[in-house]
Every structure is written in structure tokens, then in C-alpha cells.
Amino acid sequence: MQDHIGISVSQHLIITQHQYHPDATGDFNILLNEILVVGKIVRNKIALSGIAEQLGENLNQTNVHGESMKNLDQISNELFKTRLLATGLIASYASEEDQDVTNADGKYTIAIDPCDGSSNIDCNVPVGTIFGIWKKGTELVGRNMVCSGYLLYGPSCMFVYTTGHGVNGFTYDPSIGEFILTHQNIKLPKHSKCYSINESYSQQWSDGVKKLVEWIKIPNKEEKRPYTARYVGSLVSDFHRNLLYGGIFIYPTDKLRLLYECNPLSFIIEQAGGMGIDGKTNILDIIPNNIHHRTPLYIGNKSDVLKAHDFLNDNQTLQIYSIEEKPDAYELVGNYHWNEWKDLYQDWGFDGPDSIANKWHKLTGQQIPKLFVGFIGDKFIGTVASVLDDMPGKDTGYMPWLSVLFVIPEYRKQGIATKLMEHCKSYFKSLGYKECYLWAEKPQWEAVYSKLGWTTVEKVDYSCYNNVPIMRIDL
């Protein structure tokens, strides 16, 4: 892509429209530049907040949502409405601050949150303006937007927008009065750094949200977890940080507005390689039931949002297979078992992950020993095996044993180990066995089982053979 760093928004629009819309009349350029003009005015009003106009103080009014209106809410709404309608390009103007849509004779519909995060003005937290634009007459679904963007009024003033051909960010240069391209073709980083959620409401979260946040906090070097908690409470501010650094913003309750908050930001994040959902459905596919339609929001890096979808929709269902049904798992078993029990496997004569994998390859298809592997979707979760071994100190012949229980660390608090063990016990029972056994030296083995997430150790009987504690489990 050609480097256009330093050009203005108007120049950038001319270049992109020439490439993607050669028949453009220039009207869209006029509309977007008028948004920027109002943004500059709002920026200056914010700079005076608390000094000349006390813009953060409440009016004796509430908006359509019953929220206390700030002076800046009202001022910014009137500025955007008046200036945009005056262009003659607006067919419908929908705002967070207005009960009804204002209709005119133009060619574009705009939905706007004139001052997102205004409750934070008094404490100098960045706030912003969020907007989405549709062509007149099109259904107000996110997929139909022709443009979305936001202005962020922070230490510097930024304008970020997309027309469906990438995301670009412009920084305001007050010395020349122009927004200059500083962030070209913004893409989300591969791995997230941050997660944003108001954790003071954690007692009210659904189990899915609780599991999602717990997963975010579990260390995983490959996936760069845990993420850092960053929550300002201003949607546009939290979104902008996560867009640049990678992350997920989580708002579990249906409070955020679809048309002028969630849709515009979801259009941007999708163009940057991410995704936005309401928990089940892509935000851009939701048909609003009114202009103030509310929705939950999970938005950010696509892998995190898909993980959120799985947790929220109980797609974290464990599937257990015999190893021969999942041939790709041999290598995974070798690597994970070697990393977890290297010293033990060396004592048994194994010299590395490959030798473990090869051992199970050779045993494939046998009734016993039988290795079972657990998966959630395509992700390897853990193992358990049914084996026959002799009872120490007893001439009892070979007895059924549960062995090589393993669960990858991030799933050890989700009851996976218990499900694996129950599956293996059922397998023994299907073969006609009445009981099976486990090594059970306390506290060593109990600590191992506890670490792996198996919490039923204390519920079984213990018997000692040759001074070695053995756990007997009746089937």
C-alpha cells in the first residue's frame, strides 16, 4: 500500500473515492468534513470545561434514556444537528440525545452519539463522538453502512474512520487546523494485551461471562495471556486503546445503543481484522427494533470474541475420543506429557515426546490399554487412559487402573479432569469390571489430582498394599 502519511482527510477521501467510487460527486466529502468542523468546535468546548462554561455540570434535564444530560451533551448534539442538516445532505438525523429522528430532504442517514462518555468530563477522561452513515432508504443494519467513525477528544484529538476499505486514523494539528493521517491502514495486533470490563458488577455476570474473564486471566505464553485489565468507562476511549494495542471490550448487559455506538465501532473493528457480537449474533447483522435499540457488546480481536461466543453459548462442551479417532493428537500427547512429567517418563525409559507418541501409536486399537483424549472444538484439552497393571505386593494378577490423567492448565478449573475420569470409569464398567484403581499416596498424588482439577479424591476409599496407598474406585 502506498504511504499517504501526512495527508488530510479531504485528500484521503479523494484518493479512496477515485479508487473505489470513480463516479462520486464530492457530497460525501462535504458531509465528512462538516463532521470534522463540528469536532473541532467540540474539542475547543472541552478544553474550556471547568474553566469558563462548567460543561460537566448536570442540567435539570434527562435524555430519552433517562440519563442526566450534561451541558456538553446538549451543546454537541445541537452543533452536529444544526451544521449537518444545513449541508442539505441529511435525510435523517438520529441522536442519542433525541427521542425522535429529525427528517430532511438529503441523501444520507446519520446515527450519532454526539458526546460519548460525557459523565467523565469533570475528571479529564477522554470522551468522543461516534457516528454511522447509511444511504437514504437503506435498512439501518450495520452491513449497510457506507461509513462509520469516531472523534476522540483526548491529549490529542483523533479522527478514525472507515468506508469499508480499511481503517485510517488522523491526528488534529492545531497549528494548521487540519486532521493529518498518522495511522494508516490500522490492523489489530495478532495477540491482545488488554481486556475492558467493569468488574464491580462481577456478582451479576452470567456463568459464561465469568468463565470468559477467568480464561482471560489464566497464563498462557503462546496466547500472551493473562491480559492486562484496562477500563476507563468511556466506550470510545476503551475501544480506541484496544484497537491500537489489541484487546476485547466486554459490556454484558443490553445498555449500549446499536445504531450509534455498537454498529459504527463494529464496522471499524471488522475492517481492522476484529469482530463485534451481542453474545450470539454479529452486531452488523442485527436488525434494530427502534432507533434506540440496546444491546450487549463484545468487541475486539476476533479470536477473543469467538472465544466469548463459545463461553456465552456453552460451546465449551468436552468431547472425548479414543486416540485412534484423533490421530493428530499423538504428537500433542507426547509434547504435553513430556513437559508435565519429564522426570517420571525418563524413569520409565522414555527419551522424549516422540517416544511417548510412538508408544501410543503401537498400542492403537487395543481394548486395553486404551488412551482417551479430550477436545473442545478443535482444541486438545487432556488425556486419561485405562491400563492393566499388577497390584504391588499382591499376587492378584493384572488389575484395571486409571492412568495418565492430564488437563492443560487453562482448563483445570472447569471440571474437565472429573469428566475424563468418569469416561474412563464407564469404559472399564463396559468391559465388565466392578472396580478400578489409582495410585494414591497422600499428599503427593492427591496434590497432583487437585492440581489437574479432579476434585473427587476425598470421596473414594483407600486401601494399602505393601505400604503403598492405593485408591479403589467402585464401578
Asked if residue 4 is part of any domain, the answer here is no
Asked if residue 188 is part of any domain, the answer here is no
**Pair (273, 342) in one structural domain:** no
How do residues 305-343 score in pLDDT, each as one tens digit? 999 998 898 766 788 999 888 888 999 999 988 988 888
Asked if residue 45 is part of any domain, the answer here is yes
Q: Work out the percent of the chain whose per-residue pLDDT is above 90.
A: 51
Asked if residue 2 is part of any domain, the answer here is no
Mean pLDDT of 220-237: 91
Write out the H or E segment, with its range, that includes residue 171: strand 167-173
Q: Is 23 exposed, middle or buried (0-12, 13-18, 19+ CB in 10 A)?
A: exposed
Q: Supply the mean pLDDT for the chain.
A: 85
pLDDT > 60? residue 60? no
How do residues 153-190 score in pLDDT, each as one tens digit? 988 999 999 999 999 999 999 999 999 999 999 999 99
Asked if residue 1 is part of any domain, the answer here is no
pTM over 0.85: no
How do residues 107-141 score in pLDDT, each as one tens digit? 999 999 999 987 777 777 889 999 999 999 999 99
**Pair (177, 203) in one structural domain:** no
How do residues 257-284 score in pLDDT, each as one tens digit? 999 999 999 999 999 999 999 998 999 9
**Pair (263, 379) in one structural domain:** no
User: Residue 338: which of 354, 324, 322, 323 has the closest Cα?
Assistant: 354
| Beta-strand runs (E) in 199-292 | 228-229, 247-257, 274-277
Write out the H or E segment, with its range, that includes residue 337: helix 329-347
Q: Which of 113, 148, 183 is the last residue of a domain?
A: 183
Asked if residue 264 is part of any domain, the answer here is yes
Integer Cα distance of 101 and 310 in angstroms: 37
Q: Which of 312, 329, 354 is the last residue of a domain?
A: 312
**Pair (149, 113) in one structural domain:** yes
Report yes or no: 411 and 441 within 8 Å, Cβ to Cβ. Answer: no
User: Residue 35: which of 168, 148, 119, 156 has the closest Cα?
Assistant: 148
**Pair (361, 242) in one structural domain:** no
Asked if residue 189 is part of any domain, the answer here is no
68 bridge partner residues: 62
Q: Which of 118, 150, 183 is the last residue of a domain?
A: 183
Asked if residue 131 is part of any domain, the answer here is yes
Residue 234: which CATH number? 3.40.190.80
**Pair (114, 164) in one structural domain:** yes
User: Residue 46: which of 36, 34, 54 has the closest Cα?
Assistant: 54
Confidence class of residue 34 from pLDDT cuts 50, 70 and 90? very high
**Pair (271, 418) in one structural domain:** no
Cell of 255: 445498555
pLDDT > 90? residue 376? no
Q: What is residue 385's predicted lDDT score, i.e. its pLDDT?
A: 87
Q: What is residue 459's predicted lDDT score, i.e. its pLDDT?
A: 43
pLDDT > 60? residue 394? no
Q: Which of 82-91, 148-157, 379-388, 444-453 has the lowest mean pLDDT?
A: 444-453
Cell of 212: 470468559
Write out the H or E segment, with its range, that includes residue 330: helix 329-347
Map residue 467 onto helix, strand or coil: coil
Residue 80: which CATH number? 3.30.540.10
Residue 417: which CATH number? 3.40.630.30
Residue span of the structural domain in which 346 resides: 319-474
Map residue 228 onto helix, strand or coil: strand
Report yes or no: 40 and 129 within 8 Å, Cβ to Cβ. Answer: no
Distances (CA, A) of 189 to 239, 247, 248, 297, 332: 14, 9, 12, 20, 27
Domain count, the chain: 3
Q: What is residue 464's predicted lDDT score, i.e. its pLDDT?
A: 54
**Pair (223, 296) in one structural domain:** yes
**Pair (220, 308) in one structural domain:** yes
If one compares 403 and 430, the residue with the highest pLDDT of the two is: 430
**Pair (410, 454) in one structural domain:** yes
**Pair (285, 393) in one structural domain:** no
Q: Which of 120-124, 157-161, 252-256, 419-423 has the lowest mean pLDDT?
A: 120-124
CB neighbours (10 Å) of residue 202? 11
**Pair (15, 148) in one structural domain:** yes
Report yes or no: 294 and 283 within 8 Å, Cβ to Cβ. Answer: no
**How far out from the chain centre does Cα 446 lie?**
35
Distances (CA, A) of 200 to 158, 197, 203, 243: 30, 9, 8, 24
Q: Is 319 left (phi over 0), alpha (psi -120 to 50) or beta?
A: beta
User: Residue 296: which of 304, 306, 286 has the closest Cα?
Assistant: 286
Peptide bond between residue 226 and the one before it cis (omega within 30 degrees of 0): yes
Cell of 290: 427502534
User: Residue 104: which of 113, 94, 118 has the closest Cα?
Assistant: 94
Confidence class of residue 466 from pLDDT cuts 50, 70 and 90? low
